[in-house]
Structure 1
Amino acid sequence: MITSNHYQHADIIIKENDPGETAYIIKNRIVRVAKEIINKILKVLFGRLQKSNAMVSQINEESSKTKDKLCFPLCDIPVNSNFEVLLEGVTHRAGKSLPNNPYHIKKFPFRIGRKTKDPLSFNHLYIADKKPYRISRSHIKIDRHENGVIAVDMGSQLGSIFDDRQLGGAEGNLGVLIFSGMQGTLVLGDKNSPYQYRVIIKSS
């Protein structure tokens, strides 16, 4: 049954977590989200900003300790050349996670993370991972570099294995890894993860 109700200014129509199966259609005027909901979103946002600042501080500290020891191989692609980047699923689950297999990455930086209902999550590729989770909500970022392609961990719990090198996680490099060839592997999570991909670089 459809009924019509009239509400006055500042009347509460429904509260979060109220039981019921009623759907509401607003015919006139506008509705406002309660202040409590906004505060929850802001609390999450500021919490993530604090986490990001802590990660940046940790990265800077580690970089200062190892700045003379780090040496990443450069890509075989000539500097400033035009090239395309393809992401190909090697395992069955990795292939199903892509819109097309192989998938042509057209926008950079390209962010990958676990599919979530979190309104503050922003990725270009959302992967519907299952428990036990291998992929974090904000996992890894792939970007172009004048010498090829780089991978940046975005605070993932398990990290990634990028061309046989650990990136992120508990014991991985917290900085940037440079892709060392025209083709290589990318594993999201630990070495037993079903999300294994091949990164392919093609001159355009």
Structure 2
Amino acid sequence: MSKVRVLCFSLSLDGFAAGPEQSLEDPNGIGGLDVHEWFFPTATFQQLLYGKETGTTGIDNDFAARGIQNIGAWILGRNMFGPVRGPWPDEHWKGWWGENPPFHTPVFVLTHHARAPIAMAGDTTFHFVTEGIHAALERARAAAGGMDVRLGGGVATVQQYLRAGLVDELHLAFAPVLLGSGENLFSGINMRSLGYRCVEHVATDKATHVVLRKT
């Protein structure tokens, strides 16, 4: 069976994936972009988002590249997809990423409000799932065709899957910054009691990469 993996999930040293006071203008909250500074310069990111054949190589890029290997589908929380709340007012919002999102697979978005699928350039199609996390995973696994399912976030979505015992592996990238408040991945989560252990860790100038796997 395909694995459910959290990959390239950036955190501050105090465990926050996003800073306080998130808004349409600042979706990552105050200071939130700082946790991704290891990822933005990599050749993998530059190619995925901009189609450029430039960018940094080395350990950070190795982890970034691992984040897209053998991934056949994604799952996102609605807040990760965009800032619209409640019933969809229209079909205008199609995500943060423009006409060619960086997923290049089916993406299943958790929501309480139904919406027709959105086919985008680059083989990305957003599907909106109203039946909960288990239904989203079942559909994602079917779409992945034996490949792994990447759980993209945000924090609340990852926590739901962790509590349900559905996440096989996490790659967390701890940036050398403190956010103080915001969305904390470990709030109310006991990773040890859930059965995770550290199987890999390596530090670079911009991040400490930690891989946790369920035993």
TM-score, normalised to structure 1, is 0.25
Q: Give the number of the structure whose residues are more often helix, by fraction.
A: 2
Pick 1 or 2: higher relative contact order, CA cutoff 8 A, min separation 6.
2
Q: TM-score normalized by structure 2?
A: 0.24
